[in-house]
Amino acid sequence: MVKADAQENNPSPVRTWYREAVVETFSAFSTTERGLDMVEVVKRLKQYGPNCLPAAKTLSFFRIFINQFLNPLIYILLIASIVVFFLGEITDAIVIVSVLIINAVIGVIQEGKAQNTLLALENFTKTEAVALRNGVEEVIGDQEIVPGDVIVLREGDKVPADARLFELKNLQIDESALTGESTPVSKNIDVIEKKTDNPADQLNMVFRGSLVVSGAARAVVVATGVSTVIGGISRKMVTINTDIPLNKSIQSLSKFIGVGVLLISASVFGLGILYGNSAGDMFFTAVAVAVSLVPEGLPVVITLVLSIGAYRMAKQNALVKNLGAVEALGQASVIAVDKTGTITKNELMVEGLYIDGKTYEVTGNGYESKGNILLDGAALDPANHPEILFAGKIATFCANARVSFHEKEQLWKVSGDPTEAALLVFGEKAGFHKDELEQEERQVSDLPFTSDTKYHATVHMVNKKSFLSVVGAPENILALSNKIWNGSKTPRKLSDTHKAEIEAAVQTMSSRGLRVVAFSYIPNYKEELGVAPIQNAVFIGFFAMRDVLREGVRESIEIARANGVRVVMITGDHRFTAKAIAREAGIFREGDEIITGKELKTMTKAELVVHLNRVSVFARVTPESKLDIIELLRANGDIVGMTGDGVNDALSLVAADLGIAMGKVGTEVSKEAADIVLLDDNFRSVTLAIEEGRNIYHGIKKVILYLFSTGLGELLTVVIAMVVFLPLPLLPTQILWLNLVTDGFLVAALAFEPKEKLRNRIVKKGNRFFFDRLAILRTLTMGLVMASVTLFVFSIALKTDAAKAYTLSLTVLAAMQWWNAWNVRSEKKSIWSKKMWTNPYLVVATVIVIGLQLFAIYNPIMQKLLNTTALSLTELGAAVMISLSIVFVEELRKLLRIAFHGKK
């Protein structure tokens, strides 16, 4: 692949070619308009390397598998499995090792996201190119392009390298995948004096990966491979290493557990020796306590919870590539959205029509031809309104684009200029179909839009006369018009008053972020189109169009805000357009701020921090600026989700805590860089997924709360017994039994908790261990209740029968752990509510663990292994009844919580 040292020789990054004359560019690369000869091409391929991106460094499957075990929690579990094995608890050891292997296999499947992103970048830009070699056009693979080559671009071509234009005709380039700007860019060859880092402002340049919408051009290549703009994105992407919040939380939790287990085990051992217990007994007790405190089932249960969540999200059209991202979405405090393709459909639609001082509203949905034309809120029949028919006919005459709906992808696609596609659809709403219209009134000549004239003109035969239609920029259309249409056969003179009214209407529309296109006509045009200048035209009015909002976007943003998630728009579009769309979508509200990419670069970090929480729109930003914004938000303590669909979004998708790509319109690069892919490209799916993520976050909290509280109950039972000079109420084998039975079945069942309605329930920042004050309080309360009740039963029974004392303490503690699994299901709802019986898996798991406990009490073999003895029905009933104390304490807490905080 590309040689690093060869690429460093590429002169592109050093010079700003858009600021230099074409002749200087030719001179710098020792080339001419005829291009290079093959001898020079071979030489430059050796010097600069092939025109492709660096190959991703891949690891072997074995290495990836080994990497899955490099985690503090895994170390603890491995040590625990070895110790348990030598203690003779082979089943426990097998369970622990099985969990580790399953977890590692899942990790191997998910590995390689970054290298796939680079491969997608390469595939995105790989294409054929036309280059001049000794003045002759040759079709070659784009990897053979070198700096100094002259490339030929035509409609439909993908640009193979970054190049300086020197010859063009009506060239329009779709750069949305690179810049985020939704409309095609008209290019020119003029030198740009002002320095700019934004490719969107470099109008005399073309960039690798962009698409030629219309026209033709020739350009001299100034950068190839990693030296191109898209190559810079790939270079930057390699350096970004953002871990999802769940991984960070698990790592922090693992370290906490590891240190805690070592300290507690050592303390239990030392305390036991201090209180007169034998070193041998205390060693096995300390090991048993350590094993009980290590939640070996946690990795597999978390994976199970995430898998269930991912399945639910898939039903909501959100495909999860990285399981950890499911939970991360639940913690998101900021969702940064790209405008084009995410908030909007990237479908321009005529929204307003201005004729003869009247403003008409046009309804519809993007490129669908269904819609009405309204005046003062009342729908009109175009057939009864000559002004609408006139506008529809001219719009159809001047629309060379074609629109088609792809059933398989459920997506509208445009061939040609999106602006003309919008005109074509408006013409259909007015009752015209281009093919039928031009069969009756054939086209005689056509003058495409250029950056110089800024209009598109056509001549058709209407009533055996040459009828000229012209559509373009309002100021240019006004300049070539001297009359104004008023519905009569004789147009009026276009006065200064008329011009002032028209300019005011245009300004009003433009301030709303609408794209304004004016139109005029000449009824009997006798000149040759394109030779003589157009003049003395009759001005009719203008069309106002904008990219259509996706259905349900505004409602979805309100839901996100109610969930405590701030939505921020980051776009390559201009300030006015971005503000208008953001206001319409409900992202921008009064008092909010807008910052452009240029302003972003002039502000210090201290200034940005001051403004950050008030900014809802970042406009005219580069891919690098998007990355800076994401990193700034994350540095502010936010969990950031980023949506995007273009190559320009790849950096920020990787840098965000979780990246969300559009599945339909998104590039392969964005989909590979993302953690979640929206199959329907609908922002509503993000808000539904946030709610699902919240459920998963709280589901993991429940599991961890259960494991910690039961572990604490077992620990306190042992420690308090030693402090009050009681014999240890639990034997090491009994502790291991509890850990195997109750933790295994009940924890797995908790993974299948039904979905709750968690709207308006905000996840607080900084809960690294999934623990807040309430969780800590519940853990301590339930742990203390388990220990105190167990010790009370043990001390009473010990006076009459030691064997029954151990059996009763084991049974009481086991029963309290059963009840505890039901307790943790809700922070506020009673265990006896109907809602609490909606998890059949927990019911089955409870029946299983009860059966296993009875087996441990009454089976002779188990009696020998666990030092248990048979209990009478009265004793068994009493043990179960007294274990209900943990339910009564937790129910009391829930009642007090409602009393002080209400039902919210």
Dump pLDDT digits (tens) for 857-878: 999 998 888 888 999 999 999 9
Please report where in the chains the tokens 């249409």 appear, as a residue: 485
User: Choosing from 174, 201, 338, 681, which is the catalytic residue?
Assistant: 338
Sign for the CA dihedral angle at 258, 259, 261, 266 comes to positive
- 553, two tokens: 């976007």
Of 669 and 542, the one with more pLDDT: 542
Q: Is the pLDDT of residue 4 over 50?
A: no
Q: Is the pLDDT of residue 12 over 50?
A: no
β 358-362/344-355 pair status: antiparallel
Q: Which residues contact 128 (CB under 8 A, 6 or more apart)?
A: 139, 140, 141, 142, 160
Q: Say how far apart CA 33 and CA 24 lie, in whole Å.
A: 13
Q: What is the mean pLDDT of residues 183-191?
A: 87
Which residues face 518 on adjacent strands?
472, 542
Per-residue 3-state assignment (H helix, E strand, C coil) for 70-135: CCHHHHHHHHHHHHHHHCCCHHHHHHHHHHHHHHHHHHHHHCCHHHHHHHHHHHHHCCEEEEEECC
Q: Say how far apart CA 155 and CA 416 lie, in whole Å.
A: 9
In tens, the pLDDT along 670-727 reads 777 788 888 777 777 787 777 777 777 788 888 888 988 888 888 888 888 888 888 8
Mean pLDDT score across all residues of the chain? 82
338 counts as catalytic: yes
Q: Say how far apart CA 526 and CA 316 lie, in whole Å.
A: 60
Element spanning 413, H or E? strand 411-415
DSSP labels for 804-842?
HHHHHHHHHHHHHHHHHHHHTT-SSS-TTSGGGG--HHH
On whether the pTM is more than 0.85, the answer is no
> DSSP state, 664?
T
User: Which range is least confidently modeled, 176-180, 404-408, 510-514, 537-541?
Assistant: 176-180
Q: Of 236, 199, 344, 245, whose CA–CA distance to 645 is shortest?
A: 344
Of 104 and 656, the one with more pLDDT: 656
Q: Write down the pLDDT at residue 903.
A: 57
Decide: 706 and 757 in contact? Cβ < 8 Å: no
Q: Is the pLDDT of residue 486 over 70?
A: yes
Q: Write down the pLDDT at residue 16.
A: 86
Q: Write down the pLDDT at residue 114.
A: 38
- 251, two tokens: 């790592």
Where would I find the H helices in 724-757? Answer: 732-741, 747-750
Of 503 and 236, the one with more pLDDT: 503
Q: Say how far apart CA 479 and CA 654 lie, in whole Å.
A: 49
**Phi and psi based region of residue 371 (left: phi greater than 0; alpha: psi -120 to 50; beta: remaining):** left
In tens, the pLDDT along 736-771 reads 788 777 777 888 788 788 876 655 455 555 455 566
Proportion of the chain above pLDDT 70, given as a percent: 83
User: Which range is least confidently modeled, 272-286, 517-531, 787-801, 843-857?
Assistant: 272-286
Q: Is the pLDDT of residue 160 over 80?
A: yes
β 658-662/676-678 pair status: parallel
Q: Write down the pLDDT at residue 396.
A: 96
User: Which range is least confidently modeled, 100-109, 377-386, 639-648, 891-900?
Assistant: 100-109
> DSSP state, 647?
G
In tens, the pLDDT along 280-297 reads 777 767 776 676 666 666
User: Which range is least confidently modeled, 81-95, 567-581, 839-853?
Assistant: 81-95
Q: Of 573, 581, 739, 532, whose CA–CA distance to 83 is shortest?
A: 739
Proportion of the chain above pLDDT 90, given as a percent: 34
Q: Of 400, 481, 515, 402, whose CA–CA distance to 448 is shortest?
A: 400
Q: Write down the pLDDT at residue 422.
A: 94
How many of the other CB atoms lie within 10 Å of CB of 108? Answer: 16
CA distance to 661, 773, 822, 888, 890, per residue, from 899 (Å): 44, 18, 22, 16, 14
Distance of CA 380 to the CA centre of its chain: 42
In tens, the pLDDT along 260-271 reads 777 888 888 888
Of 72 and 609, the one with more pLDDT: 609
Q: What is the mean pLDDT of residues 391-415?
A: 85
Q: Write down the pLDDT at residue 428.
A: 95
Distance of CA 207 to the CA centre of its chain: 25
Which residues face 415 on adjacent strands?
402
Q: Write down the pLDDT at residue 248.
A: 63
DSSP labels for 200-260?
GG-TTEE-TT-EEEEEEEEEEEEE-GGGSHHHHHHHHHHH-----HHHHHHHHHHHHHHHH
- 246, two tokens: 């769940």
Q: Say how far apart CA 724 and CA 685 lie, in whole Å.
A: 57
- 673, two tokens: 């860089």
